[in-house]
Structure 1
């Protein structure tokens, strides 16, 4: 899961879009809340002033005996009205009185008419006693509401999300009004549902976009991997966005140039090797007529060696020029078959059987590389013990012998073409020095490598490593 979100193109696009959605929602939330609060506060202030000034005009135009009924009819669950014989005075003291009115149940107009002592209008349901802070920095602000309305003092109670008002309705009589409506800070469930729907839609868009971008890239990755293993690769489809299409075009051009370069080099080596056969044969025929045996025999031996090298080079060039199709095989079965064939020919070869190991390769080419390594082990180390195992990074084959080993300084030099550490140069004790060079070339063309190491108990260990992700 971590690999998906951190390394895959689809995961990164989904994460980027969800992060963009989250940031946009946060910004939209604050902007929308600010605008909504400003608009709602203005509307509430107008409604509060309209209702309070209407109550003030009614109280001012009626007899004091009905003021209680008027006040009872005006009270609501979120607002309270009361009459005092003093001006509002200090805003903090007035707010404390307003707090007590808000947190006290009051009778309604119906209760008052019926003469019932019980009050059925409960305290303000949105403000508990601990949730009604006393606001600092309060100040009365004169306000007039319409023609004919008495002048009033307005108090902005932001901490309560409300307002306070005091106005003189008759000489010595002041009408006080307070409104408080604390809104919950949590968002509605509908908002979370819509946010989840938006996230799903954006995730779907991200998946489609990632597939559109990732499909050509996957084709390009597979083609590059197969080309690196020496397989014949058809041109990559040049489709998609301009950047991806240009990349595919560049890859196809590179592949064509590499193929032409390899073919030209192979043809040149094959031509040189072929052309050398005629003068070498001519020189050998002339050497046969030399009467002095001491001169004739070394010369013929040298010409034979040159001819063997030429033939080996020509065979190698022909093998390189032949393009073998890659296919899936059981590498364990291939190696077991090769070891059985060599053992049947009288060579001391042992193979430790392993479980089935599927592998995509050019089997004839890989068999040739393995044969060169195993035959070298038998030729120079008397016997070959072959094992194969799966590792965390791929497949590993070990070929061990009981020979004298190789000096550390020559570990890399033996992979060079025509290099032989055996100094007799006799065909009976070794080849022409192309075996390990061919083997490493083939293994590297499959994405692997060959390394040498001397064993602590004597002998040489050849390690062939092939990548496990070889399916293209």
Structure 2
């Protein structure tokens, strides 16, 4: 049940026009191509950036190791003098201090890039200073950075002390803090921001320029494809309109053969097809006209001869047979004329057509009931559709006395249901009633051509007429008319 609902939903909302399908396919192709290329580019870019960050951090570690060796080489009484000179005059890329203990720090969250950098710095320091020397390497945010034995914040120091080594504005990168125990109860404290341009330990996202380029390229391609498809499908829309209207009058020129070679071939085939149908209809009309004219003469002659018969009973039989023959000829000609309606397509008010058909019977209360209303006008052959609706209504009124016309309209289809309260039909006869000269009730008036003509007119509009029994009592004739795009 869920599968069928999902399939129905997909069928309802799937793109139907060639323009929409081409745009969706182009968008999918662009997103797929950009996704693949961006993935390779981003992977390479991130690998190069990570390698550059590690190399810069290693160089920073080499400088830190040189600074540690320099302080270890100084006599104890000179170390604080050198520290004061560095704080007041600069001369190193680190903020340096000597503390009695390791200062606890609030480290930044673990990331892949942070782990790589910390490992690279630790490896260089252990390589240059020895494996047994206690070394602590960690990254700290600026607002959490604490220095000296009192664990004061960097913002509490005089600006001149920190500006030489920790000038963090405006990018505010994380600070690499290295604490090394160079002697008992003597920890050398080194702090330095990440070197530019590597100012973040987070995995970098796509640059805004790259995202802007992808969006701009996608919009350009979709606009270009939309213009190209509309230009290429214009002949197809003209051909579809001509096929729906299918004019057979000799004054209408053929459809212009314009467009790509495939569209030109289809248009030429359509023009040839229309000419063949026009010639066929013209030959058929001439044939029936000739047959009608040729049959009238012998029928008239037989009537004259029948009047000369002395046997009145035999004369009556001849007269009855001749009347039936004359009726068959007239019915055949009428059927051809009703089906061959040479008129142009127009946008009409279907409700007005229904009112015209039902007006003679609408004077009797309860005889005709109309439920619903068309949402908009319908493009059709007006006289043909009026005859189709009239035949269906007359049939329902003939066998059911009271008729209910239900109108169902949607963007894709217009449906008219003619429901009577008659006896209904056997299921095996529901399709047979559309055959010429078939009458469900032989004694009923008419020649049995109305429903067949109604179905032929519906087929000419791309629709159909179907018969079904109502649940309780009566017959339902449903006229399905597709709504073609304007």
**TM-score, normalization by structure 1:** 0.67
Deviation (angstroms), 1:196: 3.3
Task: Answer whether contact 1:397 1:465 (CA < 8 A) is retained.
Answer: yes
1:264-299, CA deviations, whole angstroms, 9 ceiling, x for partnerless residues? 432343233222223422332332213144444444
SS of residue paired to 1:461: strand
Please report the RMSD computed on the Cα atoms of aligned residues, expressed in angstroms: 4.9
1:76 paired to 2:93: yes
The CA deviation at 1:363 is 0.9
Query: Which of 217, 221, 228 is matched with 1:212 structurally?
Result: 228
Q: How does 1:42-441 map to 2 (within 5 A)?
A: 42=55, 72=86, 75-77=92-94, 88-90=129-131, 93-94=132-133, 96-97=135-136, 105=147, 120=162, 126-127=174-175, 181=194, 183-187=200-204, 191-192=207-208, 194-214=210-230, 216-217=232-233, 220=236, 223-224=239-240, 227-228=243-244, 230=246, 235=255, 238-239=258-259, 245-288=260-303, 289-290=305-306, 291=309, 292-318=311-337, 320-341=339-360, 350-352=368-370, 355=373, 357-390=376-409, 394-423=413-442, 429-431=445-447, 433-441=448-456
Residue from 35, 40, 51 that aligns with 1:27:
40
**TM-superposed deviation, 1:225:** 6.6
Q: Report the Cα offset of residue 58 of structure 1.
A: 8.3
Is the Cα contact below 8 Å between 2:292 and 2:329 reproduced in 1? yes
**What SS is found at the alignment partner of 1:265?**
helix
Conserved? CA contact 1:266–1:320, under 8 Å? no
Counterpart secondary structure, 1:451: strand
Distance 1:187 1:328, change over 3 A: same
Conserved? CA contact 1:228–1:446, under 8 Å: yes
Question: Does the CA contact (< 8 Å) of 1:325 and 1:362 recur in 2?
Answer: yes
**Aligned 8 A contact 1:229 1:447 in 2:** no
- Superposed displacement of residue 119, structure 1: 6.8
Match of 2:466 in 1: 451
Of 24, 31, 39, 1:18 maps to 31
8 A Cα contact 2:339 2:453, kept in partner: no
Q: Tell me the number of residue pairs that the alignment of Structure 1 and Structure 2 aligns.
A: 404
Unaligned runs of 5+ in 2: 1-9, 100-124, 150-157, 183-187
Q: Secondary structure at the match of 1:352?
A: strand
Gaps of 5+ in 1: 108-115, 133-163, 167-174, 240-244
> What TM-score results when the alignment is normalised by the length of structure 2?
0.65
